[in-house]
Amino acid sequence: MVDVFVLGGENPVFLKEELDKITHSFPEEDRAVYYGDELELEDFFTDLLTGSLFSAHRMLIVRNADKAKGDFEKQLLNYLKDPSASVCLVLEYQKIPTKILNITSELGNKRAVVHNFKKAWAQDQKRYAHRRLDDKGVSCDASVIDLLVTFAGEDIEELAGMLDKLISYVGTDKKSIDEKDIQHVLERAQNASIFDLIDAIFNHDIARSLQSLQDLLHAGESYPAMTAMFYRATKIMWAVKTSNNGQMPAGFAVSPYEWRKYQGFVSKNNLRFLSSCFECIATLEMESKTKPAIFAQTTFEKFLCSL
C-alpha cells in the first residue's frame, strides 16, 4: 500500500480526477480532510502520528498544502523520512516544492507516488474529451471534439464543464452527438443558468433575476431543481455571514472557490434578507409539490421584484 501521494501542477481537472480516484479507495469514515490555509499544525501532526481505535489504516488529505503556515514543511519533511504504514497521506499542491519531490523520490514508488500534472494543451484536451465521452458510450466525429476544444478556448476547466453539460444532455438514450447537439447544449447552458439566477438574487438585480428565471423556465428547468439550488446557495451565504473572521466552519462541505465567491456578496446581503430567502424557499417547495406551476412562478416573481 502506498504511504504518500503528492499531487500538483497546472492542470486542476486531471488533478481533481486523480484525487477523487485515490480518495474513493478509502471509506469516507476513514478519511480526514485538512486545508492548508486553516491548518493547525499541532492538531494535524498529532492526528498524523496517532493511530485510530476504529481503523487499522486511515487517509489524511491536505488540500492547498502550499498555503500552510509556520514550520509545516519542516515537520512534514521530518515525517516523510519514514512515513507511517497505517496512514495514507495525500498532499495537494499548486506547485510541488523541490524538497518534497526529492524526499518522496528517495522513498521509492512503492511507498510514494507523485503526480505532477502539466498544462493540458489542445491535443491533451482532445484525448481527454474522447475518453470522457467513450466512458459514457457516446460516439462522435473528430470535428465535434475539435469544436468543443475551440469553444472552451483551450481551457481544460471550461472544457470539463462543457463535457459535464453535454453528458447530462445526452443521458442514457442518445449514443451519438454532432455539432448541432453541442451548439444546442451550450446555448441553453449560457442562456439558462441557475447560477446566473443565484448571482442576480444576491446582487439584488431585479431585471437580471427575472430574465434568468424566464430563461430557465423556457429551457425546461423545474422548480424543485431551482429551489434546491437556491436553498444551497442561501445556506452558504448564511454561513459566510455568520462565520468567524471569514473562516469556513469545520466540516462545511463547500469548495474554497465557492466560499470565496460568496464572500464577495457579504456586504450586499444582511441576515434579515437571507431569512426572507429561506421563507421564499419554503413556500416554493410547498407550492411546487402541491399546486399548479403558476402558483410557484407567482411566488418567485413576487420575491424577485422585492429585491
Distance, in Å, from the CA atom of 144 to the CA atom of 210, rounded to the nearest integer, reads 34
Instruction: Decide if 71 contacts 42 (C-beta within 8 A).
Output: no
Mean pLDDT of the chain: 87
Domains of the chain: 4-117 (3.40.50.300), 122-191 (1.10.8.60), 194-305 (1.20.272.10)
pLDDT of residue 89: 95
Across the range 73-99, mean pLDDT stands at: 94
Name the percent of the chain lying above pLDDT 70: 92
Across the range 149-158, mean pLDDT stands at: 84
Look at residue 191 and tell me whether its pLDDT is greater than 60: no
Look at residue 176 and tell me whether its pLDDT is greater than 70: yes
pLDDT of residue 57: 85
Instruction: Decide if 271 contacts 238 (C-beta within 8 A).
Output: yes
Length of the chain: 307
pLDDT of residue 269: 94
Q: Which of 190, 189, 195, 193 has its CA nearest to residue 265? A: 195
Look at residue 187 and tell me whether its pLDDT is greater than 70: no
Distance, in Å, from the CA atom of 114 to the CA atom of 97, rounded to the nearest integer, reads 12
Question: What is the tens place of the pLDDT at every residue in 100-136?
Answer: 999 999 999 899 999 999 999 999 999 999 999 998 8
Across the range 218-234, mean pLDDT stands at: 84
Q: Which of 116, 115, 3 has its CA nearest to residue 59? A: 3
- Give 175 or 114, the one with higher predicted confidence: 114
Question: What is the tens place of the pLDDT at every residue in 21-61?
Answer: 999 888 888 889 999 999 999 999 998 988 665 667 899 99
Name the percent of the chain lying above pLDDT 90: 51
Cβ atoms within 10 A of the Cβ of 114, count?
18
Alpha helical stretches, state H, the chain: 12-23, 41-49, 72-80, 98-107, 122-135, 142-151, 156-170, 179-191, 194-202, 206-218, 223-241, 256-263, 271-290, 293-305
Q: Which of 164, 140, 136 has its CA nearest to residue 152? A: 164
pLDDT of residue 224: 83
What phi and psi values does residue 173 have, to the nearest 5 degrees? -95, -45
Distance, in Å, from the CA atom of 186 to the CA atom of 184, rounded to the nearest integer, reads 6
Cβ atoms within 10 A of the Cβ of 272, count?
7
The DSSP secondary structure of 232-275, one letter per residue, reads HHHHHHHHHHTSBTTBPPTT----HHHHHHHHTTGGG--HHHHH
pLDDT of residue 24: 87
pLDDT of residue 163: 86
Structure letter (DSSP) for residue 155: -
pLDDT band (50, 70, 90) for residue 90: very high
Question: What is the tens place of the pLDDT at every residue in 232-247?
Answer: 899 999 999 998 888 8
